[in-house]
Amino acid sequence: MTSDSPAYQLQRLLDDRSAHAAIIGLGYVGLPLAMAVARGGFRVTGFDVDGTKPGLLNAGTSYIGAVANSELAKHVTSKKFQATNDFSQLRECDVIIICVPTPLDRHREPDLSYIEASGRQIAQTLRPGQLVVLESTTWPGTTREVLKPILEETGLVCGTDFFLGFSPEREDPGNASFETVTIPKVVAGLGPEASKLVETFYAGAVKHVVPVSSPDVAEAVKITENVFRAVNIALVNELKVIFSAMGIDVWEVIDAAKTKPFGFMPFYPGPGLGGHCIPIDPFYLTWKSREFDLPTRFIELAGEINVAMPRYVVEKLALAMDSRHKKALTGARILVLGLSYKKNIPDIRESPTFKLMELLEQRGAAVDYHDPHVTEIPPTREHSEYAGRKSVPLEAKSLASYDAVLISTDHDAVDYPLVSKHSKLVVDTRNVLVKNGLSGDHHVKA
């Protein structure tokens, strides 16, 4: 690395924290990362195609629970952070981090359109001495096979003029025990100079950096983490179905099993998988494995089991209504508790509650929902028909008017004693009634 090389010049900027960083995508991953980078001493500009976000952020208003208004306002006031939708400003930045969604399309194939669009946007202003890092979860090889060619269409050479790396996001919305700064950061670059630059940058923002040999390995790390969770959740979901048929409480089994100090890790069943990662990311590896004519039997079986859970829950609800009240789902009024995919957060991405509502309505039920964190359903790509529907109040009189209450998400803010006391039937997919010390003949686990 000579003193006049782009790598040397960028290394100096990173070493003294004078580098200017860009974060593309200011959602659950990008905004907390922007705060961590600003806290580390770098100047940060956040970019988002949503025209409403920059105005909110520049006014010190956060829409992400993990980012407090006070911290955001501090970085805005000190000019360590600003947000914009003017992508021409990427030219001014030394490090560009891509934190955009990687969904599946309607055929459950990887949709890299957001990554590709970000790459083309960067290419318009790409200059020597810039480091580009992808954080979006994707199949192993994406950084090298998809993003690198887009950027090299400019005529600049990766590893000589500009530098490219991958560092998988590891956010866990709602988990108060960890934040971006304290979660170990896996990093990798394409080539030795890029590797050093990526490691130096993230070392200035987080407490523990874990270098690996290549972006392909780093991409595989994130896929492996989520495959592990998907497969184990599918396992306990299958055990739930089996043990239920045997009259055994799977939650009691798991709680006893986890007392073993070695060789067991507890996972818990639910009404289906939600969130952006676990229901989606494993299928990126499934898709990529076809290139090598290799099956991914565990992943696909886990997907089948987890996808089947909403139907299983609805059937349990239907049977409970029939056996206890001789009432069918057709014409029934059902209240679903919890719209977000996990407790205590407003994140509704891939929430299984949508599928539960859809299945119940297909069976002729009238469905309402209550969620203290989601007062109104925003527009979504997959469930546009629910946009604008509002959370109903949780009151004794209204609870008694429903034929059944279905607990889909176990938010702490819900008054479960009230639900238990005034509901005709409660179907609990999260074992939250037992956790709250509640019991009754009208409680059913699903």
Q: What is the pLDDT of residues 52-72, one digit of tens each?
A: 999 999 999 999 988 999 999
pLDDT of residue 278 exceeding 80, the answer is no
Q: Kindly list the distances between the CA atom of residue 378 and the CA atoms of 217, 339, 389, in Å, as whole numbers in the listed order.
A: 36, 11, 8
Tell me the average pLDDT across 93-101: 97
Contact criterion met (CB below 8 Å) for 404 and 321: yes
Q: pLDDT tens digits, residue range 2-30?
A: 777 999 999 999 999 999 999 999 999 99
Find the catalytic residue in 93, 99, 158, 277.
277
What is the per-residue pLDDT for 220? 97
Q: What pLDDT score does 107 carry?
A: 74
Q: Kindly tell me the sign of the dihedral angle through the C-alpha atoms of 116, 117, 118, 120.
A: positive
Cα(185)–Cα(201) distance, rounded to whole angstroms? 11
At 110, give phi and psi (nearest 5°): -60, 135
Across 243-267, average pLDDT: 97
Q: Where are the domains of the chain?
A: 6-213, 229-445
pLDDT range class, residue 100, cuts 50, 70, 90: very high
Whole-number pLDDT of residue 162: 98
pLDDT, position 1: 66
Write the class of the CATH domain 229-445: alpha beta
Going by C-alpha positions, the residue among 186, 197, 252 that lies closest to residue 220 is 186
Q: Identify the pLDDT of residue 283.
A: 86
Q: Mean pLDDT over residues 141-161, rounded?
A: 97
Q: What percent of the chain has pLDDT over 70?
A: 100
Residue 122 has pLDDT above 70, yes or no: yes
C-alpha distances (whole Å) from 199 to each of 131, 184, 203, 414 are: 11, 12, 6, 43
What percentage of the chain reaches a pLDDT higher than 90? 87
- Take residue 333 and report the two structure tokens written for it: 């009024």
Query: Residue 131: which pLDDT band, with cuts at 50, 70 and 90?
Result: very high
- 309 and 279 in contact (C-beta within 8 Å)? no
- pLDDT for 280 equals 83
Q: Which CATH number fits domain 6-213: 1.10.274.10, 3.40.50.620, 3.40.50.720, 3.30.30.10?
A: 3.40.50.720
Please, which pLDDT band fits residue 380 given cuts at 50, 70 and 90? confident
Mean pLDDT, rounded, for 200-221: 97
Residue 391, number of CB atoms within 10 A of its CB: 17
- pLDDT tens digit string along 68-94? 999 999 999 999 999 999 999 999 999
Instruction: For residue 203, give the 3-state DSSP assignment.
Output: helix
More confident residue, 18 or 282: 18
Backbone angles phi, psi at 10, to 5 degrees: -70, -40
Range name among 154-163, 278-287, 294-303 with the lowest pLDDT average: 278-287
Compute the average pLDDT of residues 393-406: 96
Question: Does residue 142 carry a pLDDT above 90?
Answer: yes
Q: Which pLDDT band, with edges at 50, 70 and 90, does 199 fall under?
A: very high
pTM to 2 decimal places:
0.91
Rounded CA separation 206/40 (Å):
8
User: Using one digit for the tens of pLDDT, what is the confidence trace for 292-303?
Assistant: 999 999 999 999
Q: Check if 6-213 and 229-445 are the same fold.
A: yes
Residue 227 CA to residue 285 CA, distance in Å, equals: 9
* Token pair in block for residue 158: 């990766």
Q: Is 99 annotated as catalytic?
A: no
Q: 432 pLDDT exceeds 80?
A: yes
Which residues, other chains included, contact 303 with Cβ-Cβ below 8 Å and sequence gap of 6+?
Answer: 230, 234, 282, 283
